[in-house]
Amino acid sequence: MSERDLSNEDLRRALEALRNGVPNRDAVRVLGCSQTEVVERFLARLDAVDGDALKHRQTNGMLVAGEFGSGKSHLLEYLRHLALERGFVCSLIVVSKETPLYDPAKVFAAAVESAMATGITGEVIKEIALRLDATSPAYGEFFRWADDPASGISTVFPATLLIRERLTGDPEMDEKIGNFWAGERLPIADVRQGMKQIRQAATYQLRSPAARELPRQRFAFVSRLMRAAGYRGWVLLIDEVELIARYSRLQRAKAYAELARWMGQVETAQYPGMLALATITVDFEAKVLRETGDRDFVRPFLEHRGTEESLALAAEAETGMREIERRAIPLNPPDNASLRHTYEALRQIHGDAYDWTPPDLPVGATSITRQMRSYVRRWINEWDLRRLYPGEAIETVETELTIDYSESPDLLVESDQSSPDSPAGA
């Protein structure tokens, strides 16, 4: 899509999104993306997903580091557009109080809620479920994996596949199963009843999966479900990973371990058909891993607990911190060429959005400490003021924002104890 395909109202929304630092799809399509190294690596990883899935392994993820305002959100929106164009389902997850990285159940819920796929406008997981063709080779391979005890998932999953395949003419059961795959609760009694109706009551020994294991099983199941329905895989774009600095030490440790999983670095937790890319602030390593001491203290802190679970978590957390230290790809600061390109594009957009000719402004010199968001906001604000108050003197004052890496009581909302087992989907 080019600027010519957008209405004045679309262009105005794009400008407002850019001003607020949360670019929408229209803004990203018009402006493009200057982070060529990240884009090229991302496209190469997308191309690798098919081959990796055939080898039953998860494609290695990517971690991108940049300053506040350096264009991380813009980059993620651009990458989402590329993934959708290439036949992937894509979810954009923003780490927050409501979506803490250490809680896979809430991350799964956010991934499902934000999922997008070409050709689907409704609830993506449920719509994808409707596209399953039980006679296709892809579905056959998917069912054989789910039916294999070595898959590591609960027998509830292959049972629901079998019920949906054979219990025709029951839209209520179809709805319940689709809801379960998308993250809602499904009483085990309903599954047993469905299996009785198709005369398969003795096929599986049905037990509710443990609550702590269910989200990971759902990720494994749904990523393969998407491929069985004809999509190439599932791309997770995870923004604002730096927020984990504000968790408690145990929650940070769990978050580092989850990051290692999303990067595909945990051999016992592989999600074939999935690719994750996460963003983090460029100084996180110095401020949190080193100054706060996580690099030295997280592993001993966990090992001191002495349980098998805490020892496994210590190894995964170590891997996650190592990803931040060694594998983060830094974003390129704006150079003169990218700055001029963005300026000219924004000037054209602003002119078309409001049917006027924006005056030429000083583009500004590049600086290693000034981020692209600062330039963009200044240009848009000044053009707005000159359009609304022609002839008035305009002076722009900018204030630099700093990131708080200290623990926050507002984010320490979950008990550090493991969740008890509960019924499937509860």
Q: Is 191 exposed, middle or buried (0-12, 13-18, 19+ CB in 10 A)?
A: buried
* Beta carbons within 10 angstroms of residue 420's beta carbon: 8
What lies within 8 Å, CB to CB, of 280 at 6+ separation is: 63, 64, 65, 241, 242, 324, 328
| pLDDT band per the 50, 70, 90 thresholds, residue 416 | very low
Q: Mean pLDDT score of the chain, rounded to an integer? A: 89
Query: What pLDDT was estimated at residue 415?
Result: 44
> pLDDT tens across 31-42, in order?
778 899 999 999
| Percent of the chain topping pLDDT 90 | 66
**Cα 420–424–426 angle (5° rounding)?**
65
Q: Is the CATH code 2.40.10 the one for domain 35-117+231-331?
A: no
Compute the distance between CA of residue 262 and CA of residue 264 in angstroms, rounded to an integer. 5
Compute the distance between CA of residue 79 and CA of residue 85 in angstroms, rounded to an integer. 10
* Whether pLDDT at 243 is above 60: yes
Ramachandran angles phi, psi of 276, nearest 5°: -115, 140
Compute the distance between CA of residue 230 and CA of residue 387 in angstroms, rounded to an integer. 49
* Whether pLDDT at 417 is above 70: no
In the chain, what is the greatest distance between 2 CA atoms, to the nearest angstrom?
82
* Whether pLDDT at 369 is above 70: no
- Predicted TM-score (pTM) of this structure: 0.85
> pLDDT tens across 116-172, in order?
999 998 899 999 998 999 999 999 999 999 999 999 999 999 999 999 999 988 899
> pLDDT tens across 67-100, in order?
876 788 889 999 999 999 999 999 999 999 999 9
CATH 3.40.50 location in the chain: 35-117+231-331
* Whether pLDDT at 177 is above 80: yes
* Whether pLDDT at 175 is above 50: yes
